[in-house]
Chains A and B, each alone.
Chain A
Amino acid sequence: MTGKSTLAALCLLAGTTHAAAPAAMHARNLAANCTPCHSPDAPAPNAIPRIASLPADRILQRLQAFRSGNAPATVMHQIVRGYSDEQLALIATHLAASPDPAFDQR
């Protein structure tokens, strides 16, 4: 294989392995609602807490605490009310599974 055709094949591969199933694609899109503030590329240290790479159940637990008013918040309690429990679970799972959206974990 020449370098060029190998590269083309690799680019193709990079795509096919990540063609998202509809549910996963929807979860990814929902999680992209959060990254303007919680970007995994955000510089450290950062006033806004980093959430990518936290375990899913911990993220979900925090989100539920914002919803019930048990966690102090300036904005998160208002944001979580825009999502159902199922949607928050989708988001938490996606964020936990993809610490780096550049899919570097491949």
Chain B
Amino acid sequence: MNRRRFLRSLGLAATTPASAILAACSSAPRRGAAHVVVVGGGYGGATTAKYLRMWSAGRIDVTLVEREARFVSCPMSNLVLAGLRTLDDLTASYDRLRTRWGVRVINDEVAHIDVARRKLRLARNDGIGFDRVVLAPGVDFLTEQVAGLAGNFERIPHAWKAGPQTELLRRRIEAMPEGGVFALHVPKSPYRCPPGPYERACLVAHYLRARKPRAKLLLLDANSEIQSKRALFAAAFAGPYKDIIEYRPDSTLLSVDAQTLSAELEFDRVRADVLNVIPPMRAGRLVDSLDVPLTNGRWADVDWRTMEVRDRPGVHLIGDAVLAAPGMPKSGHIANQQAKLAAAAIVELFDGRSPDPVPTLLNTCYSFVDDRNAIHVATVHRYDAAEGTVLPVAGAGGLSSTASEEEGHYAAAWARNIRADMLA
């Protein structure tokens, strides 16, 4: 049978693109085919699902379980706070993963993972079995570490997971009185998106400067210095925002009062009109079903050749939940790279071959400092067999020399392009 007849017997035209055939190869798991379940459809999980289908050329069945019906991006959500983007701009559908790539997308929540039996229990649908599972659960907040914070995210938004919280904080900022105070608390590292809090400070200050010129922004950092792109953010705080932003390092937050919007710090006490606390965080609680020790009780360690959780073969973990390798940030870009590392390894392992012996990852984080100008930090990371971990490549990467409009254009393009890399 030639290709044309072969395809016609399937009701497909000979000109059918391979990706459409890929889509037909799946939908429901086929008997005998390898089946991978990906849990979590963020930057890491969605990329894993697409690349598993692409790189296995449809031989691996992929199910993606995601709690939300649509994808919402955390990167760029600080622009929403400044009124420069809408939440809609950051929202995308999972449809192309279904129709182009043949991923089965289930809108549900995982209740439990049974590693020994290779089964997942779901909250609403029937349980599903897997040959391998890729967990991309992101972070959960350690709300209880700040007294008075639990149950008060309406009054004291975090806006550190994009969605309703982002819009809530935007409304609070708009409703702020003239000459009011916006207080933003940064938790101790490591946390999701190292430059994010400082970008947020810049963008909120950018809005305040135009709309509420007498307002102040208190940046209360539990760390002793700016955690990313230090010189560049310091230049913005000391330059265009010097009359608005006051940066206070070593400001460990002890408790908050949701009634008065005041914050009790180790050496200080502040009252704000808008209080934005980014809570301390840990690996998404889903990892607790794996019953592995977490570093500092927070992050799970992985084998960097496959992204498998230590001592849990067949269970891969990617994204912010992973105990980061030296110099590696918790970013959406790194999650994209870990996703491809995991997908590549899984395809090789199913084919009975060894995974790539020197996996390499590249990170770039762009931050806007106002409506037009952006800055970046870039790093390249490579597996070091002697060290058994991934290390930054010496001499590679770096920072922007200065904030620029050119990089503002690249930052906006990055957001669209990485989304296409994962969802188109």
Q: Contact residues of A with B, CB < 8 Å?
A: 1, 3, 6-8, 10-12, 14-15, 17-20, 22, 25-26, 28-30, 32-39, 41-43, 46-48, 74-75, 78-79, 81-83, 87, 101-104, 106
Contact = CB atoms under 8 A, between A and B. Distances in A.
B18 A106 contact: yes
A47 B410 contact: yes
A26 B114 CA distance: 33
Given A8-B30, A15-B59, A36-B336, A83 B380 contact: yes
B396 A103 contact: no
Contact of B406 (A28, A37, A74, A81): A74
Interface of B: 1, 6-7, 9-11, 17-19, 21-22, 24-25, 30, 33, 51, 54-59, 100, 333, 336-337, 340-341, 344, 348, 351, 353, 356, 358-362, 364, 376, 378-380, 382, 393, 395-398, 400, 404, 406-407, 409-410, 412-414, 416-418, 420-421, 424
A29 B351 contact: no
B126 to A, nearest CB: 23
Nearest to B350: A15
A79 B378 contact: yes
Nearest to A36: B418
> Is chain B's binding surface mostly helix, strand, loop or mixed?
mixed
A38 to B, nearest CB: 7
A19 B349 CA distance: 12
Contacts of A29: 340-341, 344, 356, 359-360
Contacts, number: 158
A20 B57 CA distance: 11
A17 to B, nearest CB: 7
Contacts of B100: 102
Given A35-B421, A36-B418, A47 B409 contact: yes
Contacts of A8: 30
B414 A104 contact: no
